[in-house]
Structure 1
Amino acid sequence: MTMVGAGMIKWAFMEVWTSKAPPTVQVFATMLLKDKILTHEVMEHRGMHCDLDCVMCNDCPVESVLHLLFLCPYATHVWFLVSNALGYRMMKPAMTVQEIWMQSKLARGNRPKEIWTTQFICTLWSTWKSRNQMYFISEEGCKSLQDLRML
């Protein structure tokens, strides 16, 4: 994942920390923007050998942040439901999480940014939690929590 620029990073961090999301979700969003979320791609890069397929769809050869939270069929379905329920227009696919974040700024229209950001990062958090639930009950995941402690 490549960062768009320092101005975008500062703007996104300010949006996260002024949102009404719980602190745990704010920390998650900050880690997401810093590309520190432990997807299979990141774990492999850190030397932890796991099955690289996306645990949600088993259709992607490498589970990246972009795939998992936005492009996976599970994630696109979640975003479809959220956008319909809240009356937002759908965002277009993008090459980076930061580009999607910038699109979200346009998609919110005249809605208060704190509310929009809260809904946006809570949706990301919910998708991440669903992934973790699937991962840790899956036989395909890492064999033990001891492997995660090594990180």
Structure 2
Amino acid sequence: MVIGLLPKVFSQLAGTKDVWCWKATSNGKYSTKSAYACIEEQRERSVQVLLIKNHLVKVWGAAAPQKAKVGAWRALRNRLPTCDNLKRRNIPLDEVDAVCSACFHHNESVNHLLLKCPKTEMVWVEIHRWIGISTAQPQLINMHFESFINLGTGKENEKFLTALWICTVWQLWKKRNECRFDGKGWEPKNLNKDFEGHSFGFDAFLKKCEC
């Protein structure tokens, strides 16, 4: 069928003049500005890819439960089955089901559920209070991870913060599933108790994340 169409295509092209077309602009004409924009876009993509790879190496090497590391890896890759990702897979969802099960005001996505949701933000505020560092929190999951693990200085602090970030994300995801599938309410105060290191220590916190 395709081969049969070729003579028609070539007959339409016969007698036409070949021209150069620059795809980076709407009019097809080259400009230095558009070329620079293309280079910057490629550079940003390369940096982003390297950053994600670096994050994944740190996640898999962290001293955290395997389930928590898998959850964090999926979050950083935007592979968690949040409502927006389910829609992309053509899985039908009612409007009510697509809403965040914590705040009931915004559509659920990885960035909203784990970072932007007001109830989630309360948890991160408590985490920062616990470790004694207050700082602005990025609203994109990879940027948040990068910022959080670099709050301290030295390799040991980075290892601790990496494990803490992983386990926090895992706890938030588990809490989301309890709300959505078990009908439990989202109680940030109760959830925050799981992060109080002064009451049971970090080892116990890791054990909690295993279940």
Contact 2:149 2:165 (8 Å CA) reproduced: no
Residue 129 of structure 1 aligns with which residue?
174
Distance 1:89 1:3, change over 3 A: farther
Provide the rounded CA distance (Å) in 2 between the counterparts of 1:20 and 1:13.
Answer: 14
Residue 144 of structure 1 aligns with which residue?
none
Deviation at residue 3 of structure 1 after TM alignment: 9.1
Q: Does 2:98 correspond to 1:52?
A: yes
Distance 1:15 1:78, change over 3 A: same
Contact 1:4 1:98 (8 Å CA) reproduced: no
Provide the rounded CA distance (Å) in 2 between the counterparts of 1:22 and 1:126.
Answer: 12
Deviation at residue 119 of structure 1 after TM alignment: 0.3
Distance 1:73 1:4, change over 3 A: farther
Structure with the higher fraction of residues in helix conformation: 2
Superposition pairs of residues 1-150 of structure 1, within 5 angstroms = 5-50=48-93, 51-60=97-106, 62-94=107-139, 96-110=140-154, 112-138=157-183
Contact 1:57 1:72 (8 Å CA) reproduced: yes
Provide the rounded CA distance (Å) in 1 between the counterparts of 2:176 and 2:55.
Answer: 24
Where structure 2 has 5 or more consecutive residues not aligned to the other structure, the ranges are: 1-44, 184-211
Is the radius of gyration larger for structure 1 or structure 2?
A: 2
Residue 145 of structure 1 aligns with which residue?
none
Contact 1:91 1:103 (8 Å CA) reproduced: no
TM-score w.r.t. structure 1 length?
0.81
TM-score w.r.t. structure 2 length?
0.59
Distance 1:59 1:32, change over 3 A: same
Percent sequence identity is: 27
Deviation at residue 107 of structure 1 after TM alignment: 2.0
Distance 1:91 1:105, change over 3 A: farther
* Higher RCO (CA 8 Å, separation ≥ 6 residues): 1
Deviation at residue 4 of structure 1 after TM alignment: 5.7
